[in-house]
Structure 1
């Protein structure tokens, strides 16, 4: 099967075409990756490529408790243990760099300031993961953001550059810029939300400027062949709304990525995370303009993954939930073995090993 063939990702050799998709698990009590974090990723290193959970590039970029960041030396040291373990098992791993923008709460921000975004409009019916009024971790309505000043935006680009450098120094094979799922970059891209009148608002080119300037800066720092980007075309998560130039926006961004020769583009189909499905023919249409490595995530099983590869729509297939309860997912797919069903109650925010590192491989199950 094509799914299990090796793949050359911009000079990085992958053992197969199965990618472990980024999944926020909120398991790091001190927001520094620990021994459980290292074990979790090591257990799943048979994936052709692992993309980590989103790693905030700054305190300001946080929207969720217990998420390990990549903005200080302690975090960098912690991630070096993670990358070492994955590499010892023969795996490859990219760090997903993240800024949530307005999807945050004042309690998570430095000095309890307002979160930032392209506009001062709060996201409707959206929650962050913070301390509730009772002092317990849980969902809380996001706070009203503060619109970033024009001169501030380069500061955030610098945060991404510093995080990318720290990630490479920690042993990551590359980084993925999180431009999807209603977070900061998509907030700027979305023409219904972005009401700016400066050079970051209005035209398609202006709305793409922040992401592309950041991509250029990160590529200059670590090499563009080490940089992927995640986007969610026609995404509606976290109060993203349709706008007249939406189709034009994604055509233009495809051309921009093609010109830059990025490591890959990663499409996030939001059907499995509670939003509308990406148009079925989008990957094929995207290929008309962008000819590099294309990954997509969105509820694939072994058969639908193989079909997408054989059609030529995609080069790599990202899988999230399947890896939660099946650290050896690639081998289970390869040998048509049954899959363990994950405990949804432990998907997110439960500290400790339960539902995180205690799922056995098929061989371990058989012994038990």
Structure 2
């Protein structure tokens, strides 16, 4: 019987188990976007999982929205990430770097050159953003021109190449959580009347173009994508056509030979079943808030090939060992999720050798 401990091939990788570390923003990079000095230890501590997906990492200056998030487009970024990938590989796991362009979820106080955020259309998200001066309303973004959309696709391509140069095993496109790729899906954020707006094929086009460019550059077997059907983060409303948009999108992505789709699942079981049916390669399912007692249930039921976990892995570096032993997980300290140093980052306790 297939369970979380059954090895699996995903893309070009043989993974030792079916547990995945979900991407989680930690805001501990240097101001220039270079991963911080503790990043290698943080990821290596969690190498008991078969696959680690990094925190959201901007593919360009324009992709940054939060303070102290990492990038993967300069030589310094590559050098910083190389230390991380080397540590993860030495510890026995694999790492995909998640490419995150935040789009309109941005504030000029946080961006290089104090640039305004960019988006499918000039529609503000009616939300606030943390800055070094505290919380501030997110301003109305600037709408991307068609030429800028093409350049943004190339930014993703370039960042994917740099990630491989840094030793990453692949990249995950962040198409979820209210950021740029998902903004194109949502009619209340995408008011365009050109080939990137209107019907579901047009609204899915940008995601497909990004995925195609990256697959061309580094290989589909090194490319994954994260989706969150129905998510309303960043004030998005995907509308009643959303399930049909995702069915179309998954069908188009399937033609590209990507390694996996990573679904943040919010409860539409019928759509998840359709994604499973339409997708011919690995499917990772993340159910936010899933209890430890439910670990492995989607794999056992055939709804997923792998399962990803966020806060449980953040707080419990030896998550797989504790699953096997039945030991309790560490509580997560939400006050240290973002920014800071080792506290709440690399200092969570692990089981003693005897207990493990």
For normalisation by structure 1, the TM-score amounts to 0.92
Q: Could you list the per-position Cα deviations for residues 188-240 of structure 1 after superposition, in whole angstroms to 9, with x for gaps in the alignment?
A: 11123211011111111111111111111110000011000011111111111
Query: Deviating runs (4+, > 4 A) in structure 1?
Result: 364-367
Q: What SS does structure 2 have at the residue aligned with 1:296?
A: strand
Moved more, 65-74 or 103-112: 103-112
Q: Could you list the per-position Cα deviations for residues 58-110 of structure 1 after superposition, in whole angstroms to 9, with x for gaps in the alignment?
A: 11111110111112110110000000000001110000001000000112234
Match of 1:247 among 243, 250, 253: 243
Whether 1:169 aligns to 2:165 is yes
Q: Is the 8 A contact 2:285 2:298 kept in 1?
A: no
Change (3 A) 1:189 1:147: same
Q: Could you list the per-position Cα deviations for residues 322-360 of structure 1 after superposition, in whole angstroms to 9, with x for gaps in the alignment?
A: 0112100011011111111121111112x1100100112
Q: Could you list the per-position Cα deviations for residues 256-302 of structure 1 after superposition, in whole angstroms to 9, with x for gaps in the alignment?
A: 12222210000113xxxxxxx33134322211212221111122344
Q: How does 1:13-162 map to 2 (within 5 A)?
A: 13-30=14-31, 31-124=33-126, 126-132=127-133, 138-162=134-158
Match of 1:318 among 300, 308, 313: 308
2: CA distance between counterparts of 1:282 and 1:204? 16
2: CA distance between counterparts of 1:366 and 1:10? 34
Match of 2:330 among 331, 340, 343: 340
1:329 is matched with 319
For normalisation by structure 2, the TM-score amounts to 0.95
2:277 is matched with 288
Q: Is the 8 A contact 1:283 1:314 kept in 2?
A: no
Q: Is the 8 A contact 1:63 1:129 kept in 2?
A: no
Q: Is the 8 A contact 1:188 1:201 kept in 2?
A: yes
Shift of 1:366: 6.5
2: CA distance between counterparts of 1:140 and 1:329? 36
Gaps of 5+ in 1: 133-137, 270-276
2:187 is matched with 191
